[in-house]
Structure 1
Amino acid sequence: MTVDSAILQHAAIPFAVIDSESHIIDHSSKWVEMFGQGPHIIGKNFYEVMPGVPDELKLDITQCMEGEGHRSGTKRTVLESGDAKWYDWKVSPIKPQDGTKTNVLVIMEDVTHKRLEEELLAKSQQVARIGGWEVDLIKNSIYWSKITKEIHEVPDDFIPDLTTGISFYKEGHSRNTITKLVNDGIEMGKNWDTELQIVTAKGNNLWVRAIGEPEMVNGICVRIVGTFQDIDKRKKTQLQLLKSEESLKGTLDNSCIGMALVAMDGRFMDVNLSLCQSLGYTKNELLDLTFQDITHPEDLEIDLALLTELVKGRRSTYQIEKRYFDKDGQTVHVILTVTAARDIAGEISHFISQIVDISPRIKAEKKLKGLLELTTNQNNSLMNFAYIVSHNLRSHAANLTMISNFLMDESLDDEIRADSLELLGKASKSLNETISHLNEVVQVKLETGKKMRSVQLHDIVEKVLLDIHALIEENMVKVQTDIPKQLHVNGVMAYLESIMLNLVTNAIKYKDTKKSAPTLNISAKEQEDTVVIKVEDNGLGIDLDKFGTKLFGMYKTFHGNGDAKGIGLFITKNQIEAMGGKISVVSEPLIGTTFKVTLPKK
């Protein structure tokens, strides 16, 4: 055989020419491209340039050198680098025209990528259980691949025919369907792709996917080729899922609680009658909405957060108490339970929501709470009333007694007696007003806000100071007030009078007798939505480290005063809290005490 080197060098095939000494004397450009070599390999030993070639190739080259004919082969080899390569070769002897020793033409390709693809395809078919088949209508023969035979559970040497192949399909729907599909394919060239049941040679029922593609020549079917896949597990899972969905549909339609199928984006896919009745929508109206559309804004964030955890697989279900808006915009309280529904691939397809309407329960709880608050308020009101009667009237009685005793002094001149009579009249009037206020406490119902009203704080303080004017004078207390006349608080007049009376009389009662000038400062100012009242004295003070936790307790006294009953501050605190306010104290023994009362503004 002779070779024109100039022509072969540019051939689109990878080849090299080797002389009898195994030196490379020529090669194509494709050889250089495929094996990453250059022109410098001319004259070099082939086996040194290609150290990883299979021994089978070396043998074929030697036999060609010895005069044998064409040789070929395919072999996998492992290079020194550890890489595995597949080589495909053809070897032919070349006889030079001058009659010298025989050269060898080696045509070789690196087919590693191609073989890997073939192996992956074969493995994929094995894993996916996909076999091939072919019907030759000219020769009246059928070919089944190895996997197709495995699916039918027949031996490797089994030889099927068309009738036998169809007989494997389960009698009834499956066999009738494949018979029609095969006939339509032969007569009209129609392709098919169907899922049917077969009964294997071992009697096992199996779901398979059968695909057929007829080949037509001049309008006549000469061959049908196709694939055959074992889909038994997937099909049975699908059927079970379908059965579950049908069961869920029946449960949804017949459930006495609200149920809904919700899409990943929140759209209602299906709802039952119970949910429609709770929310006042028709089914079609709800199917046009998302759950976000009807969720109370304050509950949406937590609902979406839990739903995100469900999607990310951090939980399988969640339950919350939330609020919806019905068609009329009214709040509907529900207990919502959400579960993820998954498809055959294990991915979330939608959500199943169970919605229990607890609005009647919430209304009953609110009513019960209201009754409890009403009862509690009534009890507190009666207690406060009893304490107010005891304290306020006793203060008035003491004031009247002092004035009366003063009037009984026959040595008083007419001017002083006239002043005392005037004080007696004012004290009587003040007592009448107090009784009127106490009566108001009895009459006012304790429903929310009805007993509260705007009260001018300045007038209350002035009235209290006037009521105990004699007590102030007797104890020589220097009183200063700083209360704007326009300042109003939201409260109950009788309570406010009782609070100020108790704080002021306490400041007088517990003055420090060692101090020459007892002082009492009463001030008030606005602070945001409240009014802050301060009553400050320079009296005996209170050891808060010792008595702080007991200060506002009932029957708690701290200075050994025999007249003290230990209920004044208890009354005061309850009255302040009943009006939505609070009281605090700062005090040091022998320094003085400051009570701070915070009440809502007008």
Structure 2
Amino acid sequence: MTDEQTTTHSADWYEQILDAMPDMVLVKGPKSRLLWANRTFREYYGLSNEELRQLIDGKHSDPDDTLQYVKDDHRVFQTGLNIDIPAEPITDANGTVRYMHTIKSPIHADGEVVRQVGVSRPVTDSALIAQTSKKRTESKESTESLRTLVRAMPSAVVMFDSAHRILACSEEFARLLTTLLAQPITIEELLGQDYVNQLEAILPLLSDIDATMEGMQPPRRVEAISSPGNVDSWIEIESRPWHDASGTISGSVAVLYDVTQQHLAQKELLQANDELSQFNYHVSHDLVSPITSTRGLLSTIAEDIKDAEYEQLPEMIAMAEGQLLKLSNLVNDLMVLARADTATVNATELDLAAMIHEIGATQHLDNDPDSTNDVELHLEVKTLNSDKTRITQVMTNLLSNARKFRDESEAEPRISVRSFKQGFCTVVEVSDNGLGIDNDLSHDVFTIFTRGSAQHSGHGLGLYIVKKHIDRVGGQVQITNHRKPTTFSISLPDKPQ
């Protein structure tokens, strides 16, 4: 063997050999991306190697022809076998269509197809050209019919080729993406886009597309989507393969339904059923318990009177009054809860400082002598636009809790209310230096019949009612600090829902 035969040649040497060939030679990577082409190909397409790199096809090419190239490329990568195409239309830089005999072959590395090489030369058989031209026309008509159908669909529908490019979509699909991205998206902006690179992170469809390309029919599924601003949506996805005029799979069509409202309604129904079960259990117990206790006390009182034993009567009467007061409070809470669920929202302008002073005066009359002037106000926003009855009930419950759950180790109780703007909302914070919320209850404190502290009695309806009212006006309520200070934060929209 001579030295020349054993010499390892450079990449430039091989490129010179390929550039000298009259056939068109090109190398593609995954998803039909062009990596390199010889001089004959570059001159035919009017592109340099730098210009063609990462393209799928030239701008002058017929999109339906490109669709067939992509499908053939996908087949090479999937099967790892050569493809011999007797005649395929290829458009040059001047828009002239010529028919080429093309062979596409896989390039393997570590047992996997990593690239493919294609070689094309002109076809001279006029009968073959005529036959291929006829099939091309039929295929274009079939594909365009499907595109037209997709564009006209009232649902959110999108059509892909085997390289995951968007070939067509409906107006509703563009509107759906506009909602999910929180920015305007048009059909024109979507066409030709590589879905995986551009949109997969927002609305995952890759697994469905690839499954359909394998001839499978993936089951209908629901995908939870988190949009900008932490707004959750639920999208139902159904994907099916689409076939060209020859009957072979050429891509995927996905139909998407926004089922957010149905999902939320189902979630609310399950929550309502759970709350109803808890409600029946707790209310039946809390109603019966004071009645039973009062009956027992009255029976004992009657016996003591009969026996002329009066010494313990005042204590037992006070105990009976306590049980009846407990029952009265429960009935009042249940009436408030019923109104929170059913009453309509009536928005009006509210003077926040006046409301807080009015609540303090009312609680002062209810045997809380220090309640009128013990609230510090830091109000950047002095007027709210919301439902007066609901917001008054919310503030009454929060201020009442702040006073009720005082920490006796503190020199004096401190309660403050702060308000400020945050975007299109007003935030109202109620803070106190009381006992706070038990850490293990922080996630459930707004749940029905949950008490924020095990050290105090109560029915566990107060904060549940607060959340009901805030939900009804389209706001949010949360605990931003559990103790020292305990802080409840309420976010109210400028326009109540």
Shorter chain as denominator, the TM-score bin is 0.3 to 0.5
Q: Who wins on radius of gyration, i.e. which is larger?
A: 1
Highest relative contact order (Cα 8 Å, sep 6+), 1 or 2?
A: 2
Question: Structure 1 length as normaliser, TM-score?
Answer: 0.34
